[in-house]
Amino acid sequence: MTLRAVVKGVGHYLPERVVPNSEFEETIDTSDEWIRSRSGIERRHFAADGQTTSDLGIRAAKAALADAGLEADDLDAIVVATSTADFTFPSAATMIQSGLGMTRGFAFDVQAVCAGFVFALTNANGLILSGQAKRVLVIGAETFSRIMDWEDRGTCVLFGDGAGALILEGEEGAGSTDDRGILATDLNSDGTYRDILYVDGGVSTGTTGHLRMQGKEVFRHAIEKLAQTAHTSLEKIGLSGDDVDWIVPHQANLRIIKGTAQKMGVPMDRVVVTVQDHGNTSAASIPLALSVGKERGQIKQGDLVVTEAIGGGLAWGSVVIRW
């Protein structure tokens, strides 16, 4: 018998305000056509004034708890992937813990920018396999609209706000790749690339700062590193792209999503794509896509799902899940 971290529920929340590409045409030198053709993005959601990352996370968490048929106090831990926590501290995770009325267990944040959800899932898997926790709520929640420079057309049209959540529970499997649950993980980072994607604020500047990106440079690394990490985690369990039912990639750019799928030898009809509706929601993009993919009837129990993501750091990684 092998202990596995099995998905018990999934949910998401998107803020009400939907912003189409055309809205940017009024304030910066851009066009709907440019944004669509270079990124695949058609619209994104922006949080309302005063609506915080933990607010979005709480809504997504409640949806995942309802999907799993669980209450907050059935959880042992909450792991939140975010780079846009409401405050420097306490963590978004403890804010969400209190917002859910959870009075037991523990909660903490993981910060690996757009790769955050893959890092959080891997941490949650470790907590379950080591016996620290039986049930873990893993959330990706972001309000990137708070760190946009609205005059920088190379970045402000690409990002959006939202949250997604997944509940994992320890369950015995047979030890084969037919088991439900997390089957393999792969994490990487290389801080020498920190200057190509970063926020120019924080405790060292006394400001929140704005996102800065050398888009072409990030693009250059993305497909190569995403395909590599997906290959590495599949290879750990003797599987390949042919075995994959769904790639659920980080939703940053449709051209990156297509290039990575092609390199993995997986056709686009086996890729969950939400970037057109959400933009890049950083650590929230994968759990949002998992939840929407399930809602659309794409992801079904027993499917082999590969998630892969890259972001600031650079940090990148992948997780293979039997849904």
Ligand X SMILES: CC(C)(COP(=O)(O)OP(=O)(O)OC[C@H]1O[C@@H](n2cnc3c(N)ncnc32)[C@H](O)[C@@H]1OP(=O)(O)O)[C@@H](O)C(=O)NCCC(=O)NCCS
Closest CA to 240 of 317, 173, 177, 298: 177
Pick 217 or 245: Cβ nearer ligand X: 217
Tracing tokens 């056509």 back to the chain, one arrives at: 33
Pick 120 or 256: Cβ nearer ligand X: 256
Gap between the Cα atoms of 119 and 68, Å rounded: 22
Q: How far is the CB of 210 from ligand X (least distance, A)?
A: 14
The DSSP result for 62-101, as a single string, is HHHHHHHT--GGG-SEEEEE-S--SSSSS-HHHHHHHHTT
For residue 177, the tally of other CB atoms under 10 A from its CB is 16
Q: How far is the CB of 253 from ligand X (least distance, A)?
A: 4
- List contacts with ligand X (CB under 6 A): 30, 34-35, 38-39, 114, 153-154, 157, 213, 215-216, 218-219, 252-253, 256, 280, 310-311
Pick 61 or 257: Cβ nearer ligand X: 257
Sequence letter at residue 8? K
Active site residue 156: no
Q: How far is the CB of 131 from ligand X (least distance, A)?
A: 34
Q: How far is the CB of 290 from ligand X (least distance, A)?
A: 17
Gap between the Cα atoms of 308 and 115, Å rounded: 8
Active site residue 280: yes
Q: Which residue in the list 12, 21, 45, 114 is annotated as catalytic?
A: 114
Contact indicator for 56, 15 with CB cutoff of 8 Å = yes
DSSP 58: H
Pick 11 or 116: Cβ nearer ligand X: 116
Gap between the Cα atoms of 251 and 237, Å rounded: 25
Q: How far is the CB of 42 from ligand X (least distance, A)?
A: 14
Strands in 315-322's sheet, in edge-to-edge order, are 181-189, 315-322, 304-311, 246-249
Q: Which residue in the list 210, 231, 250, 278 is annotated as catalytic?
A: 250
Comparing every residue's Cβ against ligand X, the nearest one is 215
Q: How far is the CB of 194 from ligand X (least distance, A)?
A: 13
Pick 39 or 91: Cβ nearer ligand X: 39
Strands (E), the chain: 2-13, 17-20, 43-46, 77-81, 106-110, 135-143, 161-173, 181-189, 197-199, 211-213, 246-249, 304-311, 315-322
For residue 38, the tally of other CB atoms under 10 A from its CB is 17
Active site residue 114: yes
Q: How far is the CB of 152 from ligand X (least distance, A)?
A: 8
Residue 129, Cβ density class (10 Å: 0-12 exposed, 13-18 middle, ≥19 buried): middle
Gap between the Cα atoms of 250 and 159, Å rounded: 12
Cα separations in angstroms, 257 against 75, 76, 275, 277, 293: 33, 34, 9, 15, 15
Pick 68 or 121: Cβ nearer ligand X: 121
Catalytic annotation, residues: 114, 250, 280
